[in-house]
Amino acid sequence: MSGALLAGLLAGYGIAIPVGAVGTYLVALTARTSLRTGLAAAMGVATADGVYALVAVLGGAAIAGVIAPFAGPLRLVSAAVLVVLAAYGALRAVRSHRAPATRPVTPLAPGRAYVSLLGITLVNPATVVYFTALVVGDRAGAAVPVLDQAVFVLAAFAASASWQAALAGGGALLGRVLTGARGRLVTALVSSAVITALAVRLVLS
């Protein structure tokens, strides 16, 4: 069981630590809203990682064959969603900056943030391919106890959740530092530009 726990933790951190477009959006979202919203979004990302870890454990090598023909279209869908999020974030920031000070800005609800980040992470084919490669390589034709499989999935989820929560915390600190309207506008536009660039890179890779 300890081996499955360690493998799950390493797998979870391995997929979560590289900060790509989703991580950048998570930090920017928390900076513009609240820590509560950021944590909800972080749990959305971690849930997707946990789901794919479970699918990889249950499906094994069959998953790689199923996902391979659709990897290209899924990558395009993922990039398109990221571009839409980037454009929406920039538009929202500009409108908020131009709005009168007396006009309240409706924050993104935690539930909506959770669903949004869950969805965008689920359409990322790299996640399921990553976990499938780990699981298939680790099995090497040997049967794995159900308890070990459950420990692996839970450990992967916990690792991903802890890292995404740390990113959300960083976004909350950033939001407190950049309290001015201009600072929030600049960070939102920079974040949208970075997310768009990463989406383009995803398509070209």
Give the integer Cα–Cα distance in Å for 80 and 26: 17
- Asked if 37 contacts 107 with a C-beta cutoff of 8 angstroms, the reply is yes
Q: Which of 135, 193, 167, 170 is CA-nearest to residue 19?
A: 167
Residue 165 pLDDT: 92
Residue 23 pLDDT: 79
Neighbouring residues of 162: CB distance < 8 A, sequence distance ≥ 6? none
How many helices (DSSP H) and strands (DSSP E) are in the chain? Answer: 9, 0
Digits of tens for pLDDT over the chain (205 positions)? 677 788 778 777 776 776 667 777 888 888 888 889 999 999 999 998 888 888 777 765 455 556 667 667 766 776 776 677 778 777 877 877 776 554 444 567 889 999 988 988 887 666 666 666 555 544 444 455 778 778 888 988 998 899 889 888 888 887 666 545 666 677 667 767 766 776 676 677 6
Residue 103 pLDDT: 44
Tokens standing for residue 72: 């290209």
Query: Which tens digits make up the pLDDT trace of 34-74?
Result: 889 999 999 999 998 888 888 777 765 455 556 667 667 76
Phi, psi of 140, deg, nearest 5 = 50, 40
Residue 151 pLDDT: 87
Residue 158 pLDDT: 92
Residue 139 pLDDT: 47
CA torsion, points 26, 27, 32, 36, in degrees to nearest 10? 70
Give the integer Cα–Cα distance in Å for 18 and 14: 7
